[in-house]
Chain A
Amino acid sequence: MTQAVAIQPASNVRRPGWRGSGLFAPMVTWLALFVVAPTAILLVYSFFTGEGIGEVDTHFTLENYRRIFTPVYLDLFWRSILYAGATTILCALIGYPVAWYIGRAPASRRGKLLMLVMIPFMTSFLIRTYAWLIILHEHGLFNGFLEAAHLIPTVFSHPLNILYTPTAVMIALVYTYLPFMILPIYTSVEKLDPSLIEAAADLGAGPTRSFFRVILPLTWPGVAAGILMVFVPAIAMFAVTKIMSGGHIRLIGDEIQEQFEGGGDLPFGSALGMALLILFLVTYWISAGRGAKELRGA
C-alpha cells in the first residue's frame, strides 16, 4: 500500500550534464537579473541609514535590524503573522471542500467550476474591497438583508457594526486569497486515484480515518502550495487592511509602504522587507520539509 504512494526515484532523474545545464541557462539568467539583483539591492540598502526623503547615508550599519527587534515592530510582525495565519487556516478550511468537490466532479464540469471560482477575481481587488464597504456598512446590504428578514430587531437589537473591525478585515482577507488556496489543492485532488480511497474503505477505514491517513497526505503537496501562496503574500498585504479597518489595523505591508513614502526611510523599509523574506524562507522550509515527510512516510 505504501509502496504505491511513495515516490520512486525515476530512472531519468539524474544530475544535469552539459546539455542539461544548457537548459537551465535561460532560467538562471532570468533569475540572476530579475530576482537576485533586486534582492541584492534590497539587502545592500538595508544596511544604510535613511537621511530624509530619498537620501541615504551609505555607511554600513546594523541599526535598522536592531530597530526591528524593538517591541513596536516585533508586535507588528506578530500581528501580521496572526492575521495571515488566520487567513490561511480559514482559506484552507473553507477552500478544501470546494477544491475536493471540483476535483472529483465529472471532467466536463471541472473546467467550468474552476472558472466560476476565478471569475470574481478578474475584477480589481480595490473595487471588490469597496464593494465590501457597501455590503458591511451600517446602512449597507448585509444589515439591510437582516432588517428585511426581521432579524433586526428580534435577534440583533440594532444594525451590526462589522465595518472597521477586525472581522471586516478577516472577511476581506479570506475573500482575497481563497482562490489561491482552492486552485493548488484542486490540482492535487484532481490526480487522486479513486481506487486508493476505495481500498481504504474496503479495508474498514471510516471516513475520518480515510481522510487523515490517505486523502490528506496524498493531497498535501497541493495544500502546502496553497499555504505558501496565501500565508506569505498575506503578510505583505497592504491597502485592504487599511480600508476595511479604517486605518487602525496596519500590517507589515502597510508599514513598508509608509517607510518608502511618508517616513522617507528607504533603508529601514528595505530592512523590513528583508525580515519578511527571512520569514518566508522559514515558512517555506517548514512546509516543504513536512511535505516531503508526508510523501515518504504515509
Chain B
Amino acid sequence: MKHFHFGLIVATVLSLAGCNRSSQKQQQRLHLFAWSEYVPQEVIDGFTKQTGIPVDYEVYDSNEKMLTKLLSSPGHYDLIQPSEYMVEHLIKRGLLEPVDQSAIPNVGNLLPEYRNPEYDPGMKYSVPYMAGTVGIAYNSDKIKDPIRGYQDVFQPKYAGRIIALDDNREIVSWALDVKGIDINDVTPANLAKVKPLLADWLKLIKIFNSDDPKPQLFSGDVDLGVVYCGDAAKLIEQDKKFKYVLPAEGAHRFIDNLCIPKDAPDKQAAEAFINYILQPEVSKIISDKFPYTNPNGAARKLLTPQQLANPASYPPDSVHLEIFHDIGKANADISQLMTELRNGR
C-alpha cells in the first residue's frame, strides 16, 4: 500500500512538471479551437505532416461557450470557428484579427457566392469553412402526405411523432417564418405574435434534440422533424426512404467560418491552416465525414455524384435562405418566452 501511495505522488509530481514544460516557448504551434465533430483528425494530422506544425485541438459545442472561453484566454487561441452571427458579434467587439488573403492563395477555390458574406463583407475577418441549412427531414415510408413547410409538419395528426432542434432561437425563427416576419426582427411585439403558434407546436413535439436526431428518426421514435442538413444527409445516405425539404415559408442557413482572434500567438500558423483546409483534397475529406454544404468549388469537383445529389447537402436554390444576425439582448427575451412555454407542460 505504501508503494502504491508513493507511486501516486511521483505520478502527480511528474505530471505537474510536465505541465510546466509545455508552457515554455516552443516552435510554431497551432492552437485550434473548433466545434466538436467538425474537423476530422485525419485533416489535423495531415496539416502537421504537410507543414511540420503540431496542432493543439480544443473543442466546444456552442458559440457561446466558445466566446466565454475566448474572453478568458487572451493570447491563447490561433483559430476559432464561429458561426455567422457570432462572427458579426466578434467583429463588432473588435475581437478578431484581419485575415491576410495574400497568405491564403487557395481562397480562390471558394465559390463566388461565399466570397462576400453579409456578416463580413469581403471576408476581411473570416473564411467560410462549411455551410448548411436547417430543414425538414421525414421518413417517407411513414409519412405519405406531402410535406412542404413547417405548417405541414406541425399538424395535430403528427402529434407525438415530431422531433425538433433543442434550440430556442431556431424554434422561434420557424414560427416567425410562418408568420412572415423577418427572423432577426425579434421584438417583444413579434414574439407575442408567434407565442400562440409556438404554444400549439410545442405540444406536438415528442423529442427535442440538437445533438443527434439521427438515431431517433432511424429507430422510428419519431417520423419527421426539423433538423440540421448534415444529420439529414447522413440519414439519406443510410436509407433513401428519408427525405429532406427546405420549408417553403423560409429556411435558416448557417455558415461556419475560420477566424483568427486578436492577439493570436501564431497568426502565420493560423493562415497556413486556413490555406491547407482550402485545398480540394483536404476539403473533400471533411465533406466525406460531415456532409454539409461545401463552399469550396474545387473540392466539389472531387465529390461523387451521390454526394452532390444528396438534397440535404446540396439543396436546390429555389427557397429563400436567411441567416441569423447578432440580436444581442433579444436572446434573453427568446429564452424567457421559451422557458415559459416549455415548462408549462
B71 in the interface (beta carbon within 8 A)? yes
CA–CA, A138 and B220, complex, Å: 9
* Complex contacts, B327 vs chain A, CB 8 Å: 52
CA gap between A39 and B62 in the complex, in Å = 25
Contacts of B166 in A (CB 8 A): 242, 247
Q: Give min CB distance, A72 to chain B, whole Å.
A: 5
A51 CB–B CB distance under 8 Å: yes
Docked Cα-Cα span, A75 to B345, in Å, equals 11
What is the interface residue range for chain B against chain A? Answer: 35 or more
B209, A76: Cβ atoms under 8 Å? no
B67 beta carbon closer than 8 Å to chain A? yes
Could you show 10 A-B contacts with beta carbons less than 8 Å apart? A52-B331, A53-B67, A54-B64, A76-B343, A164-B207, A246-B216, A258-B168, A262-B64, A263-B334, A264-B331
Are the C-beta atoms of A261 and B339 separated by less than 8 Å? no
* Contacting residue for A246 out of B71, B209, B332, CB 8 A: B209
Interface string of A217-261 (1 = CB under 8 A from B): 000000000000000000000000010001110100001001111
Q: Does B56 contact A (CB under 8 A)?
A: no
User: Chain B's nearest CB lies how many Å from the CB of A116?
Assistant: 21
A262–B328 touching, CB < 8 Å: no
What are the interface flags for A120-137 relative to B under an 8 Å C-beta threshold, 1 for contact and 0 otherwise?
000000000000010001
Q: How many angstroms between the C-alpha atoms of A164 and B216 in the bound complex?
A: 11
Among B62, B63, B343, contact of A72 (Cβ-Cβ < 8 Å): B343
A141–B184 Cα distance when bound, in Å, is 45
Contact of B209 among A137, A247, A260 (CB under 8 A): A247
A53 to B69, CA, bound (A): 12
Contacts of B339 in A (CB 8 A): 72-73, 76, 255, 258
Residue A268 at the B interface, CB < 8 A?
A: yes
Residues of chain A at the chain B interface (Cβ within 8 Å): 50-55, 72-73, 75-76, 79, 133, 137-139, 163-164, 242, 246-248, 250, 255, 258-265, 268
Whole-angstrom CA separation of A189 from B242 in the bound complex: 57
Is A246 in contact with B328, judged by CB distance below 8 angstroms? Answer: no
User: In the complex, are the beta carbons of B64 and A50 less than 8 A apart?
Assistant: no
In the bound complex, CA of A262 to CA of B167 (Å): 8
Residues B206-235 near A (CB distance < 8 A): 206-209, 215-216, 219-221
Given contacts A54-B68, A262-B64, contact A247 B207 (CB under 8 A): yes
Contacts A261-B62, A262-B167, A263-B335 given; does A247 touch B328 at CB 8 Å = no
Report the separation of the CA atoms of residues A202 and B86 in the bound assembly, to the nearest whole angstrom.
74
Say whether B328 contacts A248, CB under 8 Å: no
User: Which residue numbers of B lie inside 8 Å of A, CB to CB?
Assistant: 62-65, 67-68, 71, 86, 89, 166-169, 206-209, 215-216, 219-221, 326-329, 331-332, 334-336, 339-340, 342-343, 345
A138 lies within 8 A of B221 (CB): yes
Whether A260 contacts B329 by the Cβ 8 Å rule is: no
Q: Are B332 and A264 in contact (CB under 8 A)?
A: yes
Q: Which residues of B contact A79 (CB under 8 A)?
A: 343
Contact A264 B343 (CB under 8 A): no
**Which of A76, A139, A262 interacts with B331 by CB under 8 Å?**
A262
A39 to B167, CA, bound (A): 29
How far is the CB of B142 from the nearest CB of chain A, in Å? 14
Q: CA–CA, A192 to B327, complex, Å?
A: 62
Contact B207 A53 (CB under 8 A): no
Kindly provide the distance from the CB of A2 to the nearest chain B CB, expressed in whole angstroms: 39
The 8 closest A-B pairs by CB, nearest first: A247-B208, A263-B335, A52-B328, A246-B207, A261-B64, A265-B332, A264-B331, A72-B340
Can you add 6 more A-B contacts, CB < 8 Å, to A164-B207, A264-B64?
Answer: A50-B332, A51-B328, A137-B221, A258-B339, A259-B335, A264-B331
**Bound Cα distance from A98 to B327, whole angstroms:** 54
Provide the bound-state CA to CA distance between A250 and B220, in Å.
Answer: 24
Query: Nearest Cβ in chain B — how far from A91, in angstroms?
Result: 25
Which of chain B's residues have a CB closer than 8 A to the CB of A268? 332
- Closest CB of chain B to A252's CB: distance in Å? 11
Bound CA–CA A76/B338 (angstroms)? 13
- Tell whether, in the assembled complex, residue B345 and residue A262 are in contact, meaning their CB atoms are under 8 Å apart: no
